[in-house]
Structure 1
Amino acid sequence: MRMMLVGTGAVGQCIVELLLKRDPEKEWFTYCLLSDVNVNHAKDVWKTINDARLQFGYVDATQKEMVKEEIQKHHIDFVMDASSPFCANVIFDAAYECHCDYANMGTFSIPKEKPEYGMGIENSYELVMTKYNFDADEKWKQQGNCALICLGIDPGTVNVFAKYLCEYEFDTVEELHVKDGNNLKIKGHEDELIFGFNVWTVLDEVMNPNVEYDKSKGGFIVDKPFSGKETFDMPEIGMNTLVKVEHEEVVTMVKYLSEYGLKKCSFKISLDEDLINALQVLDKLHLNKIQPVQVKGVQVIPRDVIASCACQPDTIKDEMEGSMCVGVLAKGIKNGKEKQCMMYQCFSNEEAMNQFGLQAVVAQTGFSAALAIELYAKGIYRKPGVNSLEAFDPIPFLKLMEETNFIYKIKQY
């Protein structure tokens, strides 16, 4: 596999480091081009990792022809998108036009200026999450190329968990609810707003209208940001306050797992109360917008300003204490009786720092994506068309998790 990594942030770096570690004999990971709009950042990652399989270069991932030129120049056969969400469709199309296979960790969506909320995603979104990709499924099949979307911890590993629960823990699964929580604390940053992940991605997910699925009510339901607040006891973590967020799992699980009897699906995440308050202020000031505005004769995207000014996740490392916990709560029927359980993965910041020198949120996401890419490279998670991980057998992924000590557990209720 000759891979082009688009975006050399902390998650991208984690992915490459793990792939190199997993294939020291260069049997399936032979080359990687580290590409970024900030070529100095790509160069720094190249120096840090220091492996002969790596090169670095400049690419503006909003420019399709530039992405294609780099793919062709370096004889790339697999493109990994670890860039900002607004670049996703450009990179996806560039890979297709170059007859390359492709993967990403999330898709792009664009909410309407005035969302209608209520039933139907299309009433609140100009571009619905995953739709751009799944609409291209047939042409990717005809071309014979593979596109894997939504790799990471969530979406990604949790999609594998959901498929496993449907196949092996239940006769009928009626509800799947993704829960993303933590007990992280950050020393020395008490007065700062901490996003914990790519700032653009957080703004996309949290500020957009959220989506859940309820078959009895007619399908997908769209609600205002920060709705659906609940308190939930996360395994090994403790009580978390969670809110609904727009996330691809709600769409992909309904697409692939409805045959198991799925009636309800949601995604909720734990957000710091100060961050919620700040984001609500930004929303009221329209500073979360992605449409350019004129500032003293200069075109500026408000969300870019926030992303540039905020404390960056890769600057927060060993100051962080605690753990992440991400999993799927499933409810259904087994042997004629009601059943409820949660399949989850916990990752401590100490563990993340020891393995990667990266904070837990970043490392957990990168670790998950790297495992899926390894299965792709070995031909196990590879078939023509556009798919998320529910389309594949969950067992190989879980075996890799066990092999790499990326521990998962199942809690019965």
Structure 2
Amino acid sequence: MAKVLVIGAGGVGSVAVHKMAMNSDIFTGIALASRTKSKCDAIAASVKARTGVSIDTFQIDADDVAATTALIQQVKPVLVVNLALPYQDLHIMDACLAAGVNYMDTANYEPIDEAKFEYSWQWAYQDRFKQAGLMALLGSGFDPGVTSVFATWLKKHKLDTIRTLDILDCNGGDHGQHFATNFNPEINIREVTAPARHWNKGEWIETPALTIRHQFDFEAVGPKNMYLMYHEELESLAHHIPEIERIRFWMTFGDAYITHLTVLQNVGMTRIDPVIYNGQEIIPLQFLKAVLPEPASLGPTTKGKTNIGDIATGLKDGQEKTFYIYNICDHEDAYRETGNQAVSYTTGVPAMIGAAMMVQGLWKGEGVFNMEQFDPDPYMDMLNKHGLPWQVKELAGPLEF
């Protein structure tokens, strides 16, 4: 039905390409490109062994707009799926505009020299994509992505309006390492150490990172401490579902993770400004990334489950109701299917589904769009069919905190 070009050969890219190959009736051609071609070749070999599907591989520096444009023109996809670093979003969007091809990603842009991420930079491309007759879909991962679709599904089927929304992200997996991140260490640590922000009655409330904590009992995982954080879907949901009074994002961390991260912060290893070492300029956080375990290497040893979902409170037929909608994913099951642990799986599968929505014409438009702007039903149906089944239950009331 369609050929796609995937840029990025990390764990998420690996899962997305494996799942695309498992749906060869939708994705009739798959190309994979990365700065390191050997990573693409290793993924291609796994895809061939597991599915029998051959994919094309290429080397590309996605910061080079001209080279990326030339690669898009060579491959001739109908869609570019950006699973590279969020620093590269705008460069890849520029290349898609130059080549006349639709665009999709899983995480919003952030500048490399500032730990700040927001949609303003990508929303600014609205007129350019609309005038070109092209579509850009932002944030088709799990959070952002599935969590936004969960919210719109609840509003379509369970609630007339949403008053409060809490997004809960729990990783109950154990990889056996003293300290390691389950996705790109640089991006993970920048995200976790940024100030927490949440939306409340028309304004952003900012608090120091990792200072607001509550315990929640997650199904299939158990009680976990979760911390208030900022995540980009809060911004887009507040914009596109304007009746929401309060939106918060919570993520679980173990005590050992928090202790290690605190020490690393205290000694300056999470800094993103350059320092001089032996006459050379280095970024401490990028050096730390180089010595930490590669997230893709954690798949064989990670056991346990993830539990990610939304708790929404609002009105239905004049009465206040609260619903909890969530997915549970098993690390070992994800590894058996794709050779990657569940954190990559829960992002890579939604990337495949978002791409499927676009290439099949189930979601279409001209301009720049977020997930919650489309009909949730076909996306939710594919989640159930392709490895991320969800469930919904009514709660007695909203969270007490």
TM-score (norm: length of structure 2): 0.92
Map of 1:210 onto structure 2: 196
1:85–1:200 Cα contact (<8 Å) kept: no
Partner residue, 1:43: 41
Is the aligned partner of 1:350 residue 2:332? yes
The reply to whether residue 288 of structure 1 matches residue 264 of structure 2 is: no
Q: Residue in 2 aligned with 1:9?
A: 10
Deviation larger for 72-81 or 344-353 = 72-81
Does the residue aligned with 2:145 lie in a helix, a strand or coil? helix
**Residues 1:240 and 2:238 are matched in the alignment:** no
Q: Say yes or no: does 1:386 pair with 2:333.
A: no
In the other structure, the counterpart of 1:168 is 157
Residue 137 (structure 2) pairs with residue 143 (structure 1): no
Give the SS at the match of 1:185: coil
Cα deviation code 1:100-130 (max 9, x no counterpart): 11111101235997xxxxxxxxxxx7x5411
SS in 2 for 1:379: coil
- Relative to 1, partners in 2 of residues 1:111 and 1:242: Cα closer, same or farther, differing over 3 Å? farther
Alignment of 1:9-408 (within 5 A): 9-23=10-24, 25=25, 28-50=26-48, 53-110=54-111, 128-187=117-176, 189=177, 192-215=178-201, 218-258=202-242, 261-408=243-390
Structure 2 counterpart of 1:193, one-letter code: F
Could you say what the CA RMSD is over the residues aligned between the two structures, in angstroms? 1.9
**In structure 2, do the counterparts of structure 1 residues 303 and 93 end up closer, same or farther at CA, with 3 Å as the change threshold?**
farther
Are the structure 2 counterparts of residues 206 and 405 from structure 1 closer, same or farther at C-alpha, using a change threshold of 3 Å? closer
What is the one-letter code of the residue matched to 1:371? I
Structure 1: gaps of 5 or more residues: 114-124
Counterparts in 2 of 1:110 and 1:58: CA distance versus 1, 3 Å: closer
Which is further off, 388-397 or 365-374?
Answer: 365-374
Q: Distance in 1 between matches of 2:340 and 2:350?
A: 14
Letter matched to residue 203 of structure 1: I
Residue 405 of structure 1 and its aligned partner are, at CA, apart by 4.7
1:84–1:200 contact (8 Å) kept in structure 2: no
- The alpha-carbon distance between structure 1 residues 111 and 219, as it changes in their structure 2 partners (threshold 3 A), is farther
SS of the equivalent of 1:22 reads coil
Amino acid at match of 1:228: I
Q: TM-score, normalised by structure 1?
A: 0.89
Question: Displacement, 1:150?
Answer: 0.6
Q: 3-state SS of the aligned residue for 2:272? A: coil
| CA distance in structure 1 between the partners assigned to 2:314 and 2:23 by the alignment | 37
Stretch deviating more after TM superposition (139-148 or 296-305): 296-305
CA drift at 1:411: 2.1
Distance (whole Å) between structure 1 residues aligned to residue 13 and residue 27 of structure 2: 15
1:30–1:53 contact (8 Å) kept in structure 2: no
Distance change in 2, residues 1:96/1:293 (3 Å): farther
- Structure 1, residues 284-334: CA drift from partner, whole Å, max 9, x if none? 333323333332232322221111111122111232221100000101122
How far did residue 256 of structure 1 move?
A: 1.2
The answer (yes or no) to whether the contact 2:136–2:367 under 8 Å persists in 1 is yes
Structure 2 letter corresponding to 1:172? T
Superimposed CA distance per residue, residues 133-184 of structure 1 (whole angstroms, 9 cap, x where no aligned partner): 1111122111111111111111111111000111221122101111001322
What's 1:410 paired with?
A: 392
Q: 1:291 to 1:239 in 2, by over 3 A?
A: same
**Cα distance in 1 between the residues matched to 2:126 and 2:132:** 10
**What is the letter of the counterpart of residue 104 of structure 1?**
D
- Counterpart CA distance in 1 for 2:60 and 2:275 is 25
Q: 1:159 & 1:397 partners in 2: Cα distance?
A: 11
**Which amino acid letter does the alignment assign opposite residue 233 of structure 2?**
E
Measure the CA separation in 2 of the matches of 1:77 and 1:211.
37
Runs of 4+ in 1 over 6 A off after TM superposition: none
* 1:52–1:21 distance in 2 versus 1, CA, 3 Å: closer
CA pair 175-210 structure 1, distance change in 2 beyond 3 A: same
Distance 1:135-1:375 versus aligned 2 partners, 3 A rule? same
Instruction: Percent identity, please.
Output: 23
Distance in structure 2 (CA, Å) of the matches to 1:298 and 1:2: 43
- SS, match of residue 144 in structure 2: helix
Indicate the residue corresponding to 1:122 in structure 2.
Answer: none
User: Any idea what SS the aligned residue of 1:153 has?
Assistant: coil
Q: How many residues align?
A: 391
Q: Render the CA deviation track for 1:8-30: whole Å, top value 9, x for unaligned.
A: 1111011011111112x4xx423
